[in-house]
Amino acid sequence: MADTKSTNQTSRSLVKPLKGLFTKNTAILSFCIFIAFVLWLLNALSKEYEGDITVSVEYYNLPDDKVLVQDIQDKVQLRVRAVGFHLLWSELSLLSAEARINYTNHADKKYILVEEVLANQLATTYTVLDARPDTINFTFGERLSRKVPVILLISPLSCRAQQLRAVSPWSSSRRGK
């Protein structure tokens, strides 16, 4: 019993100084500090900063009669200047930067300068300072195709559950229950 009483008195003696910390004035002060922090953050993020972003690149209108011999970049690292909000959102992956490159606009060249093409597409949000890689090379080879006859080495199934609908040298389809 005496042990419980001493523990109870100890906890009261610890709580008593903390009660003075959480008064109405402390709550108001904490709220004001929070509002000041939010306003400071909004002010800081409204200024321009330099940062790195990763841009996903999609290519379209590539020639159908040719095939790419080497892989082309699907992601490009850019050094950009932008408002702090955009850099923060791209860092948190809330704002994804994407670019589409039309090959027919550059068909006469064997390469594309990344900074030129992406600067036009990202001009509303970012000012492109540098790109890595700075060029994308297009190396095409001739597309070759050959038809090869397919010879089935199995006999058609005679099971009721499996029935072949159509058989041709190039494809077949079957229907089962």
Structure tokens that stand for 139 in this block: 């190396």
23-60 in b/e form (b: 16+ CB < 10 A) is eeeeeeeeeeeeeeeeeeeeeeeeeeeebebebebebe
Q: Which of 55-64, 107-116, 143-152, 157-166 has the lowest mean pLDDT?
A: 157-166
pLDDT for residue 175: 44
pLDDT-derived band at 10 (thresholds 50, 70, 90) equals low
Rounded CA-CA distance 95/85 in Å is: 10
Structure tokens that stand for 150 in this block: 């397919």
Residue 167, SS3? strand
Strand 75-83 vs strand 127-132: parallel, antiparallel, or unpaired? antiparallel
Q: Which of 39-53, 62-76, 154-168 has the lowest mean pLDDT?
A: 154-168
With a threshold of 0.85, does the pTM exceed it? Answer: no
Contacts of 166 (CB under 8 A, 6+ apart): 172, 173
pLDDT > 70 in the chain, percent: 73
Inform me whether the pLDDT recorded for 34 exceeds 90: yes
Domains of the chain: 2-44 (no CATH), 47-142 (2.170.120)
pLDDT in tens, 95-153: 677 888 888 777 777 888 888 888 888 777 888 888 888 888 888 888 777 788 888 77
pLDDT for residue 162: 59
Q: Which of 57-61, 132-136, 141-145, 158-162 has the lowest mean pLDDT?
A: 158-162
Span 34-44, mean pLDDT? 94
What's the CA dihedral at 84, 90, 95, 98 to 10 degrees? 120
